[in-house]
Amino acid sequence: MTRIDDLPIREELRGKSPYGAPQLDVPVRLNTNENPYPLPEPLVERIAERVREAARELNRYPDRDAVELRTELARYLTRTGGHEVTAANVWAANGSNEVIQQLLQTFGGPGRTAIGFEPSYSMHSLISRGTGTGWISGPRNDDFTVNTEQAEKAIAENQPDVVFITSPNNPTGTAVPAETVLALYEAAQAAKPSLVVVDEAYVEFSHGTSLLPLLEGRPNLVVSRTMSKAFGAAGLRLGYLAADPAVVDAVQLVRLPYHLSAVTQATALAALEHTDTLLAYVDQLKQERDRIVRELWEMGYEVTASDANFVQFGRFEGEGGAHDVWQQILDRGVLVRDNGVPGWLRVTAGTPEENDAFLDAVRELKKEQEQSA
Ligand SMILES: *Cc1c(COP(=O)(O)O)cnc(C)c1O
């Protein structure tokens, strides 16, 4: 049998594992930060209508520049993000992962480096690797906040070409204050100009506001967003960025022609017509997220303050302690996420019923622990 490493693959890919959140068939899946609510029926109808229209022209390539979609995304950002942007400031791709890939192909690459403050979203380092960009793991405080001074120092020492700031952060849920982002932007411009990417995949779930207004006067700042979480459309694969128009022009150098299919564009446009309905689900999920935090806390678990649609909880002592608990929760029919952060697990806010199932499972575990102690 031929193994991957028998193939003439790139050296830096040898022995590595692909991104792999388990896709298991269990009753309650709270492991990939998806929105638990299926799209409402009127939106499903509207998608069918718009896709039908698009299908009549599938013999043609789609709008390469996705102008109508970028215009509507800009309208959404302007309405909700506290900063006016236009289609010229916005670029869209197949998930924000592709946005990040295009940014790294443009601003990273062989001989260049990117830094992130870990634990954070594993795809930042994986896409760096895939694009031949060296990865630097920057520090965080023990409470998972970004330590501004240490982060500034790491940037000054390493002089990365790309800086990732995930706010709210995955898997911890931690928001990064605007002052920190500004300080790190300054640090990243000090030695040589570097691109600073603020990944706001979860910002709609935040107690605070978007960092979008920081774009003003900062041409090397990018805010990336996605329809996978708040819009409940992970299956759609639509991510986007807002930045100076020059950044949008720069990523054209690497994007594949016609990368965003006509079907994707039509579906995303339909979803944007239903923004208000979808954001009402977000409000419910925020309340459920806060309830999970509160109840876990009351049970005696440690909980990281969350501005996202998930909650990091622990602490589970000992080597593999978190993984054992992950398995015990799974045995009770609930799939959560072991992100490999020692001592901690992550649970996505689901429907009230799903959250009850999770909370019942961990309450039971806590009781058993106390009885055996
Ligand atoms: C889920 C997630 C994304 C979204 O990726 P898509 O490709 O848009 O589905 C981006 N960034 C972070 C931090 C995430 O957790």
Q: What is the pLDDT of residue 26?
A: 93
Q: What is the pLDDT of residue 342?
A: 94
Give CA–CA dist 343/326, Å, rounded: 11
Q: Return the best residue to mutate from 31, 32, 34, 97 for the ligand 1 pocket (most ligand atoms within 8 A of CB).
A: 97
Cis-peptide into 315, omega within 30 deg: yes
Give CA–CA dist 85/87, Å, rounded: 7
Residue nearest to atom 7 of ligand 1 (CA): 95
Pick the atom of ligand 1 nearest to 121's CA. 13
Pick the atom of ligand 1 nearest to 226's CA. 8
Question: Where would I find the H helices in the chain?
Answer: 41-55, 67-81, 95-107, 122-130, 148-158, 178-190, 245-251, 262-273, 275-299, 321-331, 352-372
Q: What is the CA radius of gyration of the chain?
A: 21
Query: Domains in the chain, ordered, with CATH?
Result: 4-39+277-372 (3.90.1150.10), 50-274 (3.40.640.10)
Give CA–CA dist 203/91, Å, rounded: 18
If you search the block for the tokens 């979008």, which residue do you land on? 212
The one-character DSSP state at 256 is P
Q: With beta carbons less than 8 A apart as the criterion, state whether 314 and 345 touch.
A: yes
Q: What is the pTM of this model?
A: 0.95
Of residues 225, 241, 237, the one with CA closest to residue 263: 237
**Residues with Cβ within 8 Å of residue 105, at least 6 apart in sequence:** 131, 254
Sign of the CA dihedral running 240, 243, 245, 249: negative
**Chunked in runs of 10, what are the mean pLDDT values of the chain (373 residues)?**
91 82 86 93 98 97 97 98 97 98 98 98 95 97 97 97 98 98 98 95 97 98 97 96 98 97 98 96 97 97 97 91 95 95 97 98 91 82
Ligand 1 pocket (Cβ < 6 Å) reads: 33, 95-97, 121, 166, 170, 199, 201, 226, 228-229, 234, 239
Ligand 1 centre to CA of 19 (Å) is 12
